[in-house]
Amino acid sequence: MTDDYIKHKYAPILPKKDEWPVVKLSKHRKEFINAVALAARDRIIALTGNNIEILREELETTLYREKLRVKQNPWLVDPEDDYEFWSKVKSGMVHLTAESSLSHKDKKIAYHHILLDITTRYAEEIASNFKHSHYKATRRIVTYGFSRLLNAARVKGFKSLFSTQYTLQDKIQIIGETEQLRDLATKGTVVMVPTHFSNLDSILIGWTISTLGMPPFIYGAGLNLFNIQIFSYFMNALGAYKVDRRKRNLPYIETLKTYSSEAIQFGCHSLFFPGGTRSRSGKIESKLKLGLLSTAVEAQRANYQKKLDDVGGKIFIVPVTINYHFVLEAPSLIQEHLSITGQERFYQETDEFSNSLKIAKFLVKFFTKGSDISVSVGKAMDVLGNYVDKDGRSLDSHGRNIDTRDYFVSDGKISIDTQREDQYTIRLGNRIVEEFHKINRVFSSHLVAFTAFQIFKRQNKKLDLFSLLRLPEEDLVISYSQFKMECERVLENIKEIRAAGKVHIAPHLKQDLDAIIEHGLNNVGLYHAKRPLIRNENGDIITEDMNLLYFYHNRLDGYDLEKLF
Amino acid sequence: MILKNSSRNSKPVGVIGIGSFGTAIANMLAEKSQVIVYARKAEVVDEINTQHTAGGRDLHHNIKATTDIEYICQKCEILFPVVSSTGFREVIQQFAPFLHPYHILIHGTKGLSLLLPEGKTLETVDRIKRDNIATMSEVILNETVVVRVGCLAGPNLAKELSLKQPAATVIASKYNEVILEGQRLLRSDRFQVYGNQDIIGVELSGVLKNIIAIAAGALGGMGLGENAKGLLISRGMVELIYLGKALGGGTKSFIGLAGIGDLVATCSSKLSRNYTVGFRLANGEKLPDIIADMEEVAEGINTVKLIKTFAESTGMRAPITENLYKVLFEGFKVEEALQYLMKYPFNVDVDFL
């Protein structure tokens, strides 16, 4: 992967929409949901050791929590009949407990029935509502609308509104292994795993996927986002299925995993944000949520069980980083991060993206002003984290071919061993984190934020993080000459890391240092009311918001650069 | 997860290396399975195949030998590498082209491997980090595509095993499958097999206890009594745990069979090579002479060198290792080292739990 960006026009890899896996899936939506519900039921029965007492307990816990949720935390998107449904489950359970005439076998059947009712309902809730017409419309809105805005801002004059000089691709640069990704998406099934910093990411990734000429990927989006109508429309159009974080009961989680696993086996390209949620601290994710990731490993094994041994049954993991100068939600994200790590008992989740108007305003601002974004596509890997070549064959570190199937073989046969697959998932997670750091693209704003924060930290050696962040901003000043010198040291080090292939840098970091610093200062946290880093009238470097500075600084965490200070 | 216990019985089990411990393991495996031994030298292979002995030690009639790496990898899904740590990486590199992800490797080597940038040696670098040190399972993971890796550790003095005295071992692996396979292959009514998921901790227990074993040998050689030994074992344990945690092991593993169990066994036994090194040092012999007439490597010597540098690089204090280093490589007398240790201001008995 090179640092430089070359603008491409990508032809669609599957021109006919009927060939799109996601369209096929939506055509067979009903059968698919039934299949998921049944598979989820069997999975839960297996997990409870086929013991009805354990199953009954799980069902009771689920019932209790669901009734509580319906009462205490109802959302706009919840189905109307939530209350009735759970009341029905309750009466069914009560009836069964009271019934003494039923044989053990009949009881089991009855409980399995209740379980299937629940998994069916959950599968229905989770399932995506992909409509091709909506997808097309959305794509048009995003590309057409945004490029109009972009041109209006950049090309002067009345005609600018119709200029095609700039497109979204100038704004959002897609770099990295794009050809490999397109290629593999025609051969096998792709699971894309991006870093996650902003609610905009899903739309951005959706746009990226479509720009690269690939059919839409399905992905799990927080159900809370469906509360907001504009998002709900976008998400549905992009093939999102719904993840409800309020439901933490076993049947729900297993149904969700089954849904994901079955969709991958169906051949639907998928998208997981493996961090699970937006990175609160601004650091690149280092601990991943393994639940959904495990479904990729499981689906790969299931494909081999179905004797899909060639590349058609292979699952490719593609890490992606999204690189920003500016994260809209940064102030609230870092606030949350600090109150969690600061062990405060309560913290309130706040959301800038609380209504459609605010989002629209932001989008206009975003596209009419500077601040570029880049999306780096990493090398594809198999589910064990081995790189694959252009034909999708796995390679070891010496370039020898590996048959991924062999990882699931015991005594010559594919075997199901969930403990083994859990370990594989951990391994895959570690590999993804490693790749994130490699493909991450350093921006000038990351450089200046990192350097400035480290200098402040060094100036106040004796303070712990929280005391440091609480220092009054007027005490925090760095002279420009010192700042420049330290930036140079950090940059030199980053270049060394780049030379070792462990990070990437944006082309604007190849200018002279003053220009880089200016670029960085102009861009870091651009639209925040309080800027994380500016130059005052004396030319010194100061901060208006230490927490934000810390947030943007964290982007370069994990490269061992702290040792320079 | 249920593994069918009989299913793999048809396949032979591989043993790589046939030193004293390799022989003991091969003989135990041969009680239940066909065993194929890999040895580099053709004459060793001939001796095994014609006389059923290896270096004069008797071998079970179920054991065959070969010099053909491809053949043993093809025939066996489960292999036990039991070669010294100095040759370990090289042997694994030779095996790598023939190993597949379905292979299971369970090693029995209690040493470390140093991984330095091209052209550097331990003498020419000023500091080493954790990344520069690899346990044997890490060597396997780095050099091959095998992921199902395990290790054997515990009080397993080869001579006692070959006399069929009762003993136990720990098989550590992140994979239950590996532990269960190891148990199935090795367990008998005089050999108990425990499982542990903390493979790094178990490997480090086996590695680090060798340092203390040399020290124990030195005390024995000076004719000191059981009080001194008790002192050494318990303080050695503390040092082992601190170093082990810094290298990524879990405390629990160090106080298990592979840690305390092995420590007590090797610190009391002249059958242990490491103990013997210390014993002879205390009697005034020089290290090169001792090494020269030992049949097999005492892993502890290499470990002391490595761990001393590691401790220095990280700023940790490891008084027993540091003083042992002086005795081994800087001509310090054992008595001087002991004097130093007696003056060292340890004051808290247990502070690692």
Helix (H, G, I), strand (E, B) or coil at B179: helix
* Among the listed residues B160, B135, B322, the one whose alpha carbon sits nearest the alpha carbon of residue B239: B322
- For residue A417, the chain B residues in CB contact (below 8 A) are 1, 176-177
Amino acid making up residue A560: D
What is the spatial distance between Cα A32 and Cα A267, in angstroms, rounded to a whole number?
Answer: 13
Highest mean pLDDT (candidates A1-10, A433-442, B341-350): A433-442
**What residues in B contact A423, CB-CB < 8 Å?**
147, 174-175
Q: What is the pLDDT of residue A163?
A: 55
Question: What is the amino acid identity at position A39?
Answer: A
What is the pLDDT at residue A277? 81
Select from 3.40.50.2020, 3.40.50.720, 3.40.50.2300, 3.40.1390.10 the CATH code of B9-200: 3.40.50.720
Residues B65-72, mean pLDDT to the nearest whole number: 97
Task: Write the burial class of residue A339 (CB in 10 Å: 0-12 exposed, 13-18 middle, 19+ buried).
Answer: middle
pLDDT at A553 (0 to 100): 95
> B147 and A424 in contact by Cβ < 8 A?
yes
A216, A210 in Cβ contact below 8 A? yes
Q: What's A28's DSSP letter?
A: T
**pLDDT value, residue A509:** 92
For residue A375, pLDDT over 60 is answered with yes
Q: What is the pLDDT of residues B168-227, one digit of tens each?
A: 999 999 999 999 999 999 999 999 999 999 999 999 999 999 999 999 999 999 999 889
Distance CA A120, CA A539 (A): 64
Q: From A527, A202, A154, A534, select the one nearest A371 (Cα to Cα).
A: A527
- Chain B positions touching A406 (Cβ under 8 A) are 100-102
Among chain B residues, CA nearest to A418: B1
Q: Do the Cβ atoms of B328 and B281 come closer than 8 Å?
A: yes
Per-residue pLDDT of A262-303, as tens digits, reads 999 999 999 988 887 888 889 998 888 898 899 999 999 999
Cα(A139)–Cα(A207) distance, integer angstroms: 7
* Cβ atoms of residues A304 and A416 within 8 Å: no
pLDDT tens, A124-135?
999 877 777 777
Q: How confident is the model at residue A425 (pLDDT cuts 50, 70, 90)?
A: very high
User: pLDDT at position B90, please?
Assistant: 96
Taking the CA atoms of A58, A60, A63 and A69 in sequence, report the sign of the dihedral they define.
Answer: negative
CA A272 to chain centre: 5
Gap between the Cα atoms of A111 and A561, Å rounded: 57
- A344: confidence class by pLDDT, cuts 50, 70, 90: very low
Q: What pLDDT score does A160 carry? A: 52
User: Does the beta carbon of B2 lie under 8 angstroms from any beta carbon of chain A?
Assistant: no
Neighbours of B29 (CB within 10 A): 23
Residues forming beta bridges with residue B53, ordered by sequence position: B58
Q: Domain B208-343 is of which CATH architecture? A: Orthogonal Bundle (1.10)
Q: Compute the distance between CA of residue B278 and CA of residue B268 in angstroms, rounded to an integer.
A: 12
Domain spans in chain B, listed from the N-terminal domain onward:
9-200, 208-343
Q: What is the pLDDT of residue B351?
A: 74
Reported as a single tens digit per residue, the pLDDT across B225-243 is 889 989 999 999 999 999 9
Structure-token match 């600018």, residue found? A160
Determine whether the interchain pair B147/A411 forms a contact, defined as Cβ–Cβ distance below 8 Å. no
Please write the tens of the pLDDT for every residue from B305-329. 999 999 999 888 899 999 999 999 9
φ, ψ of residue A424 to 5 degrees: the values are -65, -40
pTM for the model: 0.90
Q: What is the pLDDT of residue A525?
A: 84
Within A309-403, where are the H helices? 330-341, 356-368
The whole-number average pLDDT for the span A517-538 is 88
Beta carbons of B7 and A411 less than 8 Å apart: yes
pLDDT of residue A122 exceeding 80, the answer is: yes
B101 touches chain A (CB under 8 A): yes
Q: Do B1 and A410 touch (CB under 8 A)?
A: no
Determine the residue of chain B that is closest to A384 in CA distance. B147
List, for residues B25-60, the tens digit of each pLDDT value: 999 999 999 999 999 999 999 999 999 999 889 999
**What's the gap in Å between the CA of A426 and the closest CA on chain B?**
11
Q: What is the pLDDT of residue A335?
A: 84
pLDDT of residue A287: 85
pLDDT grade for A356, boundaries at 50, 70 and 90: low
Burial of residue B42, with CB atoms counted within 10 A of its CB: 0-12 exposed, 13-18 middle, 19 or more buried: exposed
pLDDT of residue B349: 74
Q: Which pLDDT belongs to residue B5? A: 44
| Cα–Cα dist A456/B90, whole Å | 49
Spacing of C-alpha A381 from chain mean position: 17
What percent of chain B is modeled with pLDDT above 70?
Answer: 97
- The pLDDT score that the predictor gives to residue B3 is 42
Residues A48-107: tens digit of each pLDDT: 999 989 999 999 999 999 999 999 988 888 888 999 999 999 999 998 888 878 888 899
Q: State pLDDT tens for residues A470-480.
A: 888 888 999 99
> Nearest-CA neighbor of B15 among B76, B57, B68, B97?
B76
For residue A493, the model assigns a pLDDT of 95
Largest CA distance in chain B: 60
Per-residue confidence (pLDDT) for residue A384, from 0 to 100: 96
Q: Are B77 and A411 in contact (CB under 8 A)?
A: yes
pLDDT greater at residue A433 or residue A333: A433
% of chain A surpassing 70 pLDDT: 90
pLDDT at A394 over 70: yes
| Beta-carbon separation of A417 and B1 below 8 A | yes
Q: Which architecture does CATH list for A172-439?
A: 3-Layer(aba) Sandwich (3.40)
Are the beta carbons of A449 and A555 closer than 8 angstroms? yes
**Considering CB atoms only, which of B7, B11, B102 is closest to A406?**
B102
Over residues A149-166, the pLDDT tens digits come to 666 655 555 555 555 556
Residue A346 has pLDDT above 50, yes or no: no
Chain B hits for A420, Cβ within 8 Å:
1, 148, 175-177
* Cα A493 from chain centroid (whole Å): 29
Q: Could you tell me the residue ranges of all domains in chain A?
A: 21-126, 172-439, 441-564
Q: Where are the beta strands (DSSP E) in A449-517?
A: 477-478, 504-505
For range A401-407, the mean pLDDT: 95
**Between chains, do A419 and B175 touch, taking CB under 8 Å as contact?**
yes
In 3D space, the residue among A466, A465, A512 whose CA is nearest the CA of residue A487 turns out to be A512
Mean pLDDT of chain A: 86
Question: In chain A, which residues touch B (CB < 8 A)?
Answer: 384, 386, 396-398, 400, 402-404, 406-407, 409-412, 416-420, 423-424, 427
Where residue A145 falls among pLDDT bands split at 50, 70, 90?
low
Query: Coil, helix or strand for B113?
Result: strand
Q: Are A481 and A547 in contact (CB under 8 A)?
A: no
Question: Could you give the residue numbers annotated as active site of B?
Answer: 209
Specify the DSSP class assigned to residue A224. G
